[in-house]
């Protein structure tokens, strides 16, 4: 697309390239499309991976991180709690066990922040933390 002029390469990777028999092309990290392409507005899917990303892989009660994080219903299912962005949080196993089938107040726990549906740009920013540094200025992360 760069060779045909349909995109403009804005940022390139410093060390990676696309090698042909006779040439090496720098691997683009940021491109600008030659024409506007309207994309459908998509909501961030509610699933375990995205909940962990929203909560920065940290327990929302004590702040611990680690490989054994669980998902907790703030209002337990038994009490009518649903599978929603506003009712699911990441919790470490000890906090989830301590909370059990109670509300945070009943269990003496307090959420670090109220859970909410992430906006698409917020979610892209969180995902981009693991991506190339050259994306940061374009996502207003600097």
Does 74 engage in binding with Zn ion (CB under 5 A)?
A: no
Question: For residues 99-138, which are near Zn ion according to CB under 5 A?
Answer: none
Beta pairing partners, 89: 72
Among 28, 29, 58, 61, binds Zn ion (CB under 5 A): 61
Does 92 engage in binding with Zn ion (CB under 5 A)?
A: yes
Residue 50's nearest CA partner among 85, 91, 24, 16 is: 85
Residue 86 CB coordination number (10 Å): 13
Find the shortest distance in angstroms from Cβ 95 to Zn ion: 3
Among 51, 95, 99, 104, binds Zn ion (CB under 5 A): 95
DSSP secondary-structure letter at 80? T
Alpha helices in the chain (DSSP H): 48-54, 93-99, 104-107, 120-128
Does 62 engage in binding with Zn ion (CB under 5 A)?
A: yes
Q: Which residues of this protein are in contact with Zn ion, per CB under 5 A?
A: 59, 61-62, 64, 92, 95
């Amino acid at each position: 697309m760069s060779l045909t002029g349909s995109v403009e390469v804005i940022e390139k990777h410093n060390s990676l390239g696309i090698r042909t028999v006779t040439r090496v092309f720098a691997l683009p990290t940021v491109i600008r499309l030659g024409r506007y392409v309207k994309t459908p507005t998509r909501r961030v899917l509610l699933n375990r991976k995205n909940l962990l990303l929203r909560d920065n892989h940290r327990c929302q009660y004590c702040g611990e991180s680690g490989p054994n994080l669980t998902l907790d219903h703030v209002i337990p299912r038994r009490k009518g709690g649903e599978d929603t962005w506003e009712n699911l949080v990441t919790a470490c196993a000890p906090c989830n066990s301590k909370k059990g089938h109670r509300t945070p107040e009943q269990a003496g726990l307090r959420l670090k922040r109220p859970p909410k549906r992430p906006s698409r740009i917020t979610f892209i920013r969180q995902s981009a933390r693991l991506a190339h540094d050259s994306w940061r200025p374009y996502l207003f992360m600097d």
